[in-house]
Amino acid sequence: MRTSLVPMLSRRMALLVICGLLPCACAADRAWAQQNDDLRRTPMVRAVQKAIPAVVSINGEKSVPPTPEQFAHGEAPRQVNGMGTGVIVDERGYIVTNHHVVDQVRDIRVTLSDGATYTGRTVAYDRDVDLAVLKINAPRDLPVISLGKSSDLMIAEPVIAVGNAFGYEQTVTSGLISSLHRSVQVSDAQQYEDLIQTSAGINPGNSGGPLLNIYGEMIGVNVAVRAGAQSIAFAIPVDKVLEVTARLMSIRQIDRHRHGVTTEEKDGGLVVTAVEPDSPAAEVGLQVGDVLTSVDARQLRIPLDLERALLGRQVGTPIEVKALRDGRTLALDLVLAEASAGPRNLDDRSWEMFGLRLSPIPPQQFREHSSYYRGGLSITDVRPDSPAYREGIRSGDILVGIHRWQTVSLENVSYVLKREDLAAYDPIKLWILRGNETFYGLLSVASHTTPPAR
């Protein structure tokens, strides 16, 4: 009986083929497989497929100095291979990563999701926040990461981490948001504030990569993991990342051009919060409270959008900017200026001596910060490794005094910097307003030298 089973099955299979029933079974299988593919393509799968083309792997070699004990025994610096991750934030090849990923790294190699590798260069960085912007030159427009926001994150919300974990490129892990607003001390020299804590698996090489929400939007940049612990990792919130990146990618930083407006996102719009006197923005009539909507039809929502839209534009060429004021749409022809032109000569001197770029604050806006001081100047940029940087002064602070002189206007700063006896006050005390608190820094300028080209 058992020996006749195989021939009977063979004859039955032949009968199915002859009758045309087997193709019908295959079609049903294909339909079933298609239906189940739809089930397999979960929101998490779709989120990764959306984001991963904009995630890059970063590799390079850096020199690690010997410890004091090693130096005493004559040991030389060691060359070690480093790795990390980055996200493309502009189609022209601008990439955001952690500063510690590229700090002192030679020959930065950036590998795209399709395997193409390019040489990267560091454009700007903020050591305190641990963020850096790289630039690669690719022959085509690159995919850009979708940006979410971190102000509305929820505990236990599902998240996804993508990165170059231990050199395994495009590694994907998932987890939850474990907590928000964490402060983490990772070394004597580095402390992070207001981090996202997540249970997503983050390992060496993940630094600089995106933390994604279920829509495939970046809500943070992965930065650190708790040594010796499981499922405890941290990310810089995307709102902070975008604030810093807008400064690092500003046209003043990269092109040495200026537009003259300070902006911030409010209620989904890009609101002008300050206008520099005698600036391109002032010349076309932009005012505090205007809502910028587009640059040459490129929509604006956050300050980074404005800098990206104006990046690479030529000085002297009109650029169409649209804004809303009292419900009316304004169409303005903005003409960029050189950052060192006209009234910026003072700023250059402040930049050279202190490492600060300063911008006036309208009196009505300053009164929101303080009722004690008569006025102050907004610090819009701090040069890395400058006297101001070493004292912990940062962008967003307000300069309210130099030594015994108040700094209500740029003219006040000019008066101080032109004093022949300025060196007698070295180190010079700068008074800073941060929030509702006043701080001071002691800046030594006696051994000042011209800063390196940026």
What are the Cα distances from residue 62, in Å, to 72, 81, 100, 119, 135?
Answer: 22, 6, 11, 15, 19
The strand ranges marked E within 157-305 are 158-165, 168-185, 191-198, 210-212, 218-225, 233-237, 257-258, 261-266, 269-275, 291-295, 298-299
Contact 144, 218 (CB under 8 A): no
Quote the DSSP letter at residue 322: E
Nearest to 240 by CA among 269, 211, 219: 219
Name residue, tokens 């029933």: 21
How big, in percent rounded to 5, are the helix, strand and coil portions of the chain? 25, 40, 35
What are the Cα distances from residue 49, in Å, to 201, 208, 404?
Answer: 19, 19, 58
Residue tagged active-site, from 57, 99, 100, 386: 100
Two tokens, residue 78:
């060691």
d(CA 417, CA 345): 12
Residues contacting 100, CB < 8 A, separation 6+:
130, 190, 207
The answer to whether 448 is a known catalytic residue is no
CB atoms within 10 A of CB 327: 5
d(CA 84, CA 208): 6
Contact 125, 35 (CB under 8 A): no
Q: Within a 13 Å sphere around the CA of 267, how many CA atoms are in the beta-carbon half?
A: 5
Contact 12, 21 (CB under 8 A): no
| Peptide bond connecting 452 to the previous residue in cis, omega within 30 degrees of 0 | no
Residue tagged active-site, from 57, 178, 207, 378: 207
Residue tagged active-site, from 126, 130, 290, 305: 130
The answer to whether 38 is a known catalytic residue is no
Can you give the C-alpha Rg of the chain in angstroms? 28
DSSP 340-360: TSTTHHHHHHHHHHTSEEEEE
Two tokens, residue 388:
């101001």
Please state the φ and ψ torsions of residue 180, each to the nearest 5 degrees.
Answer: -130, 160
d(CA 429, CA 422): 11
Quote the DSSP letter at residue 425: G
The answer to whether 414 is a known catalytic residue is no
| Residue 194, helix vs strand vs coil | strand
Angle at 447 between CA 445 and CA 450, to 5 degrees: 85
Q: Catalytic amino acids?
A: 100, 130, 207
